[in-house]
Structure 1
Amino acid sequence: MIYAYVHMHLTDMTALAAYREKAGAALAKHGGAVLSAAPQPTALEGKLPLPDMAVILSFPDKEHALAWIDDPELTAVHALRQAAGDVSVILIG
């Protein structure tokens, strides 16, 4: 199992809502799932700016995670996430 951290500073809630409608199926296509999502995460240590939304995704392995992010059939879905604001997706592992 491998995980991805999604760090979101949101500016377009309409795009986020549209993304949420499609995100589950897009993740599932590559064995991914949302493990946790927090609209108001809490800093335990450090001074990095907190996101408006923090999400932890799981994938069976790195190859599945890369297949999800690189899937040309999911370009429009990824564009919705990107249109929601300043978003970073970081693979952990």
Structure 2
Amino acid sequence: MSVYLISRFKIHDRALYDKYEDLFMPTFENSGGTLLSVDEEPRVLQGEWEHTRSVLIEFPDKESAFAWMMSPEYQAIAKYRLEGSEGQSIMVKGMDPA
């Protein structure tokens, strides 16, 4: 069953975050995932939204999502995201087609 990673970040050091962004795609290309959305200007429909970036990624299953997140290649660049921003991420299950 597919899963989706939903993340939102408040970027406070653009240079560090840009370094993460520059290195992101090479770690992601063979992950089996699909980058569905990266948005720095989402339309707020309800509530407060103080984040500067929203990201939506689809994976075919939770195993492939975790394999990518825990890969040495991704872990090597995640430090730039962690140092350059604060944020939240969740994993949600896709709908069962049955």
**TM-score > 0.5 by shorter chain:** yes
Q: Distance in 2 between matches of 1:83 and 1:33?
A: 25
Question: Any idea what the Cα deviations from partners look like across 1:27-75, whole Å, max 9, x if unmatched?
Answer: 2232123211111112212x24341110111112111111111223322
Aligned to 2:54: 54
What is the Cα-based RMSD across aligned positions, in Å? 1.6
Q: Whose radius of gyration is greater, 1 or 2? A: 2
Contact 1:37 1:55 in 2 (8 A): yes
Q: Is 2:85 the partner of 1:85?
A: yes
Unpaired runs of at least 5, structure 1: none
Aligned to 1:29: 30
| Runs of 4+ with >3 A deviation | none
Contact 1:2 1:59 in 2 (8 A): yes
Contact 1:10 1:84 in 2 (8 A): yes
Q: Is 2:8 the partner of 1:7?
A: yes
Aligned to 2:66: 66
Task: Give % identity.
Answer: 25
Q: How many residue pairs are counted as aligned between the two chains?
A: 92
Moved more, 61-70 or 24-33: 24-33
Q: 1:8 to 1:54 in 2, by over 3 A?
A: same
State the TM-score, normalizing by the size of structure 2.
Answer: 0.81
State the TM-score, normalizing by the size of structure 1.
Answer: 0.85
Unpaired runs of at least 5, structure 2: 94-98
Q: Distance in 1 between matches of 2:68 and 2:4?
A: 13
